[in-house]
Amino acid sequence: LVLLSIYFNKQFNLMLQTDPGFRTKDIIQANMIYESNDYSSYTSETVNQRKERVLAIDQLIDNCPDIQSWTTGFYSILGFDYSAGFRNAKGELVTLNQSYVTDSFFKLFEIPFIEGDLSEADKEQGGEIIVVNRAALAALGYTSCKGATIINEQMRKIKPDLQAQPIGAVIEDYYDRHVGLGARPMVFIVNKRLKGDYYQIACYPGKTQVVINYLKDIQKKVYGTEDFKYSLLDDDVAALYKNDRRIAMVYAIFACIGIIIICLGLFGISLFDIRQRYREIAIRKVNGASVKVILNLFFKEYLILLIISSFTAFPLGYLIMKHWLEGYVKQTPISFWMYGGIFAGMLLIIFLSIIWRVWKAARQNPAEIIKSE
């Protein structure tokens, strides 16, 4: 239990300390547009009214001095899962996680480019730009985006004459889900502007609450409602590890309970064992044995039991952790010093559990013990 608790907490801390590869601090995620998704219900007049409201929201956000940057889309950066098939220049089919984003997306989340850029997206007439991450580039069989192309297999079925699109840039991998699952291959279709209702807003440091209050005022001004729902990206990332945090706590609690039971058991066994051997201790003292010799005698017996139990517990714990860690791409190293630390800790517990009783028995007058026994 102690071994599993330490391992799990080490793995949990590793996941928490791992940089997800994108900015999470001072970012608000909110659905800012409260409009009907039933587009068949719109008339030309209501469409124009919707556009006016959306434009008003965008302008108000632009005018906020506490907002560093923002982007719109259809979903959060976390956990969006839409896989699509893409073919490389050799015609090989590769499954990639597909997302539609704006050119502001990478700047807002501070995702670094490792090759290429979005210079075409800055042009007014610039169309879609294809961006992939490092994992997707490798999955497609390319080492560089220069001359690299892909074609959406699903779109080609709809439009047989669809031409392959060049890959404009490559970004660094990031973890959009649980770190233990690793970074998946991603492709981004980048547009100058998306019509999504989901806003992701980066605030200047220390201005998050000010911006939240400002966004609430926008909702009230545009839609006349105070029902503003939002989340902080930091909290959303932490929620990914909620279950891991719970399991780590359970392991720690059971390990502590196990240690308490061990202490009680050792104290009870040693109490019974030493009480049964009072006469032996007295005879040894009469024959010149010191308190130190008697302590060593009992301590060696319990040490042998600890060694035997360690030969059972340590390999079993190692196999359990090895099997459990196979489910994680990013794994905490199995450090063998940990076994030595646990062994030393259990040795100390044994020593503290028996020393008082042995010391008390060894300090008694041997003549009185032999007479009474």
Q: What is the pLDDT of residue 142?
A: 95
Identify which has the larger pLDDT, 81 or 327.
Answer: 81
Q: Tell me the pLDDT band of 367, cut-offs 50, 70 and 90.
A: low
Question: Taking 70 as the threshold, does the pLDDT of residue 297 lie above it?
Answer: yes
Q: Averaged over 193-202, what is the pLDDT?
A: 87
Token couple for 66:
């506490």
Report the percentage of the chain scoring pLDDT > 70. 94
* Sequence-distant (≥ 6) Cβ neighbours of residue 23 within 8 angstroms: 108, 109, 110, 202
Q: Averaged over 229-254, what is the pLDDT?
A: 88
For residue 131, the SS3 value is strand
Q: Tell me the pLDDT band of 67, cut-offs 50, 70 and 90.
A: very high
Q: What is the pLDDT of residue 125?
A: 44
- CA nearest 103: which of 153, 169, 17, 57? 169
Q: Averaged over 321-335, what is the pLDDT?
A: 76
The DSSP H or E segment spanning 211 is helix 208-223
pLDDT tens digits, one per residue of 29-46:
998 888 777 777 888 888
Q: Averaged over 316-327, what is the pLDDT?
A: 80
Q: What is the pLDDT of residue 59?
A: 93
pLDDT tens digits, one per residue of 94-150:
999 999 999 899 999 999 999 988 876 554 445 789 999 999 999 999 999 999 999
Nearest-angstrom CA–CA distance, 62 and 70: 9
Q: Averaged over 16-26, what is the pLDDT?
A: 90
Q: What is the pLDDT of residue 105?
A: 94
* Helix, strand, coil percent values for the chain (each to nearest 5): 55, 15, 30
Question: Taking 80 as the threshold, does the pLDDT of residue 326 lie above it?
Answer: no
Q: What is the pLDDT of residue 197?
A: 86
